[in-house]
A and B are shown apart, each in its own frame.
Chain A
Amino acid sequence: QVQLQESGPGLVKPSQTLSLTCTVSGGSINSGGYYWSWIRQHPVKGLEWIGYIYHSGSTYYNPSLRSRVTISFDMSKNQFSLRLISVTVADTAVYYCARGSTTVIWFDPWGQGTLVTVSS
């Protein structure tokens, strides 16, 4: 059974770069047909999709975040990563990684989530 686990700093200063890693276990990230996504949840509930990286390495980002986001693979470690530059307090959220199966939006499973706070 595939499991995902997020890791990374819980505190980032404004204007700096947020970097998170999602480690995939129980299956290969190189398996065809999956969209490896990042999703965040702001303190007052709202879920926001950030983007995905497809097994081929192609990426697609939410237009609202496109200028600041990069998602990449580290195949040797069975991981994919999120990089968000020039963060502000509005980027404070719980960040989830998730696997999209069959379609981008079929998120299953999800990681447990990691809280990232942007503060000086």
Chain B
Amino acid sequence: NAGVTQTPKFQVLKTGQSMTLQCAQDMNHNSMYWYRQDPGMGLRLIYYSASEGTTDKGEVPNGYNVSRLNKREFSLRLESAAPSQTSVYFCASSALEGRGPQHFGDGTRLSIL
């Protein structure tokens, strides 16, 4: 009963390094999302994917790229990490063609020095 699985759980990077955050869901959901959560803020949408093969920008896409590898997996890449990208990153998925509850993973805590 895994739901949405994110790896890694924690990561420390140096400025300028690159990294890919992985997300996989086992609920056969069509839509997947990446959010970031900063202290005192709500969750802000970075990118989303309505279905396999499609991706689109959310509210804060700058500095990130995504890949919808297949129906299960949606990855988030930081090409050249910056301290402003220090955050907790959450992946989510939803069924019902995107009209339905979003199910979240437990997050990746990323620090960039």
Partners in one complex: no
List residues of B whose CB falls within 8 A of some A CB: none
